[in-house]
């Protein structure tokens, strides 16, 4: 979590219950993870536009995935209703 404090500082300033509350809040609304926030918004928009079974992780950069070819990218874009595919 990105609370801006070290583990030691957290232990000195808040108790376990408060830390658990922050952790629970972070699972719902993660801060410091801009890619996840943008991915969550994009997933919501795509779902509203008719995409099915879209997962947030698919819209986040990953260095473990192989780069897509232009043909693969166009095939994925064609899955979006009204995109021209």
Same domain, 40 and 57: yes
Cα–Cα distance, 72 to 85 (Å, whole number)? 13
Q: How many structural domains are present in the chain?
A: 2
What pLDDT, on a 0 to 100 scale, did the predictor assign at position 3? Answer: 62
The reported pTM is 0.41
What pLDDT, on a 0 to 100 scale, did the predictor assign at position 63? Answer: 59
Give residue-wise pLDDT tens across range 14-64. 888 888 898 888 888 777 777 888 888 899 998 899 888 888 888 888 756
Decide if 59 contacts 43 (C-beta within 8 A): yes
Give the structural domain span for 71.
33-85
What pLDDT, on a 0 to 100 scale, did the predictor assign at position 71? Answer: 92
10: tokens are 């957290």
Same domain, 28 and 39: no
Same domain, 27 and 66: no
Residue 2 has pLDDT above 70, yes or no: no
Decide if 43 contacts 56 (C-beta within 8 A): yes
């Amino acid at each position: 979590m990105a609370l801006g404090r070290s583990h030691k500082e957290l232990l000195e300033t808040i108790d376990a219950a408060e830390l658990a509350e922050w952790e629970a809040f972070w699972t719902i609304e993660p801060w410091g993870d801009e890619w996840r926030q943008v991915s969550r918004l994009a997933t919501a928009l795509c779902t509203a536009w008719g995409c099915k079974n879209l997962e947030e992780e698919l819209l986040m950069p990953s260095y473990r995935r192989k780069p897509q070819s232009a043909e693969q990218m166009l095939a994925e874009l064609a899955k979006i209703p009204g995109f021209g595919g």
